[in-house]
Amino acid sequence: MIESTALDVPPPAAAIADTLAPLDSIVVTEKLLGRAPRPRDHETENCALTALVQALADSPRSILQTLADKVLAVLQAHSAGLSLVTKDETRFYWAAIAGAWRPHVGGGTPRHSSPCGDVLQRNAPILFSHWERRYPYLSAAVPLAEEGLLVPFHVHGKAVGTIWAIAHDARRRFDAEDLRLLESMGRFASAAYQAVESIDRLESEAAAREHAEMGLHELTRGLAAQVHARTQELRRSETFLAEAQRLSRIGSFSWRVATDEITWSAELYRIFALDPGIPPTPAMIRARVHPDDVASLQDTLARARVAAMDLQSEARLRMPDGSVKYLHLTARGSRNAHGSLEYIGVVQDMTERRVSEEALAGARSELARAARLATVAELSAAIAHEVNQPLGAVAANGAACHRWLSSDPPNLERAKLSAERMVRDATCACAVVNRVRALFKHSAPDSIPMNLNESIEAARQLMLDEAAGHGVSIETHLERDLPLIGGDRLQIQQVMVNLIRNGVEAMQDTAEAPKLLSIRSKREGSGRVRVEVRDRGAGLQNPDMAFRPFFTTKKTGMGMGLAVSRSIIEAHQGRLWVTRNEERGATFSFTLPALAAAPQ
């Protein structure tokens, strides 16, 4: 355990213990689980794990502070740190702190009257809110904490401390994604703690060895034992590093470009499912890479051989059993003392995460499809109800009219009244049908002057997160001083959202990079403006069928998006069509008439 130093906050006085807020009044963990999680930032998370693995290998004594720094960055917190139980298990020692609370490093809290103590007591993560109401001594730790998220970590089954993140501003709220990240960092903290503990033992043994060297005889007798002990400790450190790589599914490697000499960690052999006794070669790696990714990999390696650079790449492996793995590579090139080019990097197995994300996306898609079908059913029932009422009245009045005319003598006045009611109810039924047709044809849109570029940009902002989730980037080339158009702003924005989503979904299964969606606006002759949405997907086999209602080439979807988009554009006196690109993908274009007013 870590020895305690002078703490900067005392425990609360026993005399006022009864006036403190109860624990449940400051624990808000259920709110954390109920908040919508923020999108995952895989690049930042991978970079943080890579830096931690490198720090654990190069400078284990600084790993705790490095860990606090990475928690602060990955969780976007205001303060972050680690609390370790002291050797006598009476207090927590603040071993590393990053952010606003950095000046408090070296302080601590009591073991049995503190947030850290309550977390270890429950042996579960806890989200606190304004903990100074229960622990008044934390009022001295400024700035005060709006929220504090704490996770316990263990070594050999024994709780030894907590890892935590703090928000000092009410605008920052932790969610389930923050909890997942902090728990992942907690597992790494366990390995880091063991590494630091091992180094402390090694230093103690070194001091004892120096004292023993006063006698030559003692030096001779103790040398073999000390060397053995040091070897054992080094093996333990290597074991800790290997375990950290296994837990995070990250393998490390080095590559000497001139000789193609490659060195792998044990985890990388495990990822590639290769025999650790066989030195890896570029040919062995290519044999594992998915055939569709070989060309991209060779292009990356060719560029890496020319000059030292930073590499970021994704690739798939096709395993002997036919399964596919998804990998993310990060590497940095440099020149050694002899001027030779070398690379050091890491490879992370992203398969489990990719499968989970695809399953989640599939579930959301099925839910959306079910919601659309339910909407259609509800709409159909509503239309039937609206039309049945006047039609039922027409039938009833028709029967009455027949009855009055069949009377002896005929009651012409009553028959005339029934006929008038039949005309009235039939007119009502026609009005219902016309309203429904206007709804689906978007007839007579509200026409107001509008800037088409603003609608394009609004739709792009709406679709940025969905596009990023599929690895697609959206770029725009919008002509300045574009003439104004007349139309319904929301309907035009709906068309742009439909076309952008169509392009993103067309590229979601392609392995080629980059996945780029291009949007362009420009003037066109005869007083019109033109918009083009170009993707690099698989393209359309039959473009003429694309705008037919209920026609779709997707596994999910009702095939109404393009049909509705065309009806909106045509209602605005425009035209919407699609063409195949020369290389790959398709381009959806539409034109709209410009207003005679000056451009804006």
Residue 97 near residue 84 (C-beta atoms within 8 A) = no
According to the model, what pLDDT value does residue 490 have?
Answer: 81
Q: Which two three-digit tokens encode residue 572? A: 């605005």
> What sign for the dihedral angle of Cα 127, 129, 134, 138?
positive
pLDDT for 144:
94
CA–CA dist 154, 85 (Å, integer): 11
Count the Cβ atoms, other than its own, within 10 Å of residue 136: 18
pLDDT of residue 449: 92
Local confidence band at 1 (pLDDT 50, 70, 90 cut-offs): very low
Q: What is the pLDDT of residue 576?
A: 93
> Which band of pLDDT confidence, cut at 50, 70 and 90, is reported for residue 228?
low
Report the range of poorest mean pLDDT among 225-239, 240-254, 301-315, 492-506. Answer: 225-239
From residue 264, alpha-carbon distances to 9, 252, 272 in Å are 48, 6, 10
- pLDDT (average), residues 343-360: 83
pLDDT value, residue 162: 94
The answer on pLDDT for 369 being more than 60 is yes
- Assess whether pLDDT exceeds 70 at residue 315: yes
Domains and CATH numbers, the chain: 14-204 (3.30.450.40), 249-349 (3.30.450.20), 359-441 (1.10.287), 448-593 (3.30.565.10)
> And the tokens for 512?
């080629």
Query: In this structure, are residues 531 and 456 in contact, taking their beta carbons and an 8 Å threshold?
Result: yes
Does the pLDDT value for residue 442 go beyond 50?
no
pLDDT score of 217 more than 70: no
Q: Rounded distance, CA 463 to CA 500, Å?
A: 7
Q: Between residues 357 and 162, which one has the greater pLDDT? A: 162
Residue 237 has pLDDT above 60, yes or no: no
Burial of 588 (0-12, 13-18, 19+ CB in 10 A): buried
pLDDT at 173: 93
Query: For position 44, what pLDDT does the model report?
Result: 83
Q: What is the DSSP letter of 86?
A: B
Distance of CA 419 to the CA centre of its chain: 66
Residue 599 has a pLDDT of 44
Note the pLDDT of residue 379.
Answer: 57
- Find, among 184, 12, 8, 7, the residue nearest to 112 by Cα: 12
90-118: average pLDDT:
91
Residue 17's pLDDT band, with cuts at 50, 70 and 90, is: very low
- In this prediction, residue 445 carries a pLDDT of 58
* pLDDT at 491 (0 to 100): 85
Position 383 scores a pLDDT of 65
Mean pLDDT of the chain: 81
Q: What is the mean pLDDT of residues 74-79?
A: 94
Higher pLDDT, 248 or 103: 103
Res 106: pLDDT? 86
In this predicted structure, the answer to whether residue 531 has a pLDDT above a threshold of 90 is yes
Q: How confident is the model at residue 52 (pLDDT cuts 50, 70, 90)?
A: confident
**Model confidence band, residue 8 (pLDDT cutoffs 50, 70, 90):** low
pLDDT, position 7:
43
Cα→Cα distances 428→389, 395, 417, 423, Å: 9, 14, 17, 9
pLDDT number for residue 600: 45
Q: What is the pLDDT of residue 14?
A: 40
Q: Is the pLDDT of residue 256 over 50?
A: yes
* Span 277-309, pLDDT tens digits: 888 888 888 888 999 988 888 888 888 898 888
**Is the pLDDT assigned to residue 111 strictly greater than 60?**
yes
If you average pLDDT over residues 381-386, what whole number do you get? 61
pLDDT at 553 over 70: no
- What does the pLDDT read at residue 156? 79
The pLDDT value recorded for residue 3 is 40
Least confident span in 178-192, 214-228, 247-261, 410-424: 214-228
With H, G, I as helix, E, B as strand and everything else as coil, classify residue 336: coil
Region of poorest pLDDT, from 237-251, 410-424, 545-559: 545-559
231 Cβ contact list (under 8 Å, min separation 6): none
Structure tokens at 453: 């570029």
Q: What is the pLDDT of residue 234?
A: 57
592 confidence band (pLDDT: 50, 70, 90): very high
pLDDT at 83: 93
Question: What per-residue confidence (pLDDT) applies to 213?
Answer: 55
Contact 109, 120 (CB under 8 A): no
Q: How confident is the model at residue 457 (pLDDT cuts 50, 70, 90)?
A: very high
Give the pLDDT band (50/70/90) at residue 452.
very high
Q: In the predicted model, is pLDDT for residue 233 greater than 70?
A: no
Digit-coded pLDDT (tens) for 490-500: 889 889 988 99
